[in-house]
Amino acid sequence: MNEIQKLREKINKIDSEIALLLKNRLISVKKIGEAKKTQNLPIIDPNREDIILSGLESDYEKEVFKKILSESRKYQV
């Protein structure tokens, strides 16, 4: 197996882990959405999003998380 194949296998494993984490995150997002509805709270919490994004280092991470946050909002409606 050459180096590229080994690295791709590593990426495939990481991708599987990310997918599982995203599924678990979505479950929590839906529960938060339900709690917000019962408490009459807005879906968007800019302070929370700022805290999440400020803890990230690279533009790559920030862009990925912006997309995650955007998609998460859709599941809280």
CATH number at residue 21: 1.20.59.10
DSSP, residue by residue, 22-73: HHHHHHHHHHHHHHHHHTT--S--HHHHHHHHHT--SHHHHHHHHHHHHHHH
Q: What is the pLDDT of residues 20-62, one digit of tens each?
A: 999 999 999 999 999 999 999 999 999 999 999 999 999 999 9
Count of the separate structural domains present in the chain? 1
Domain range enclosing 72: 3-76
User: How confident is residue 77, by pLDDT bands cut at 50, 70 and 90?
Assistant: confident
pTM: 0.84
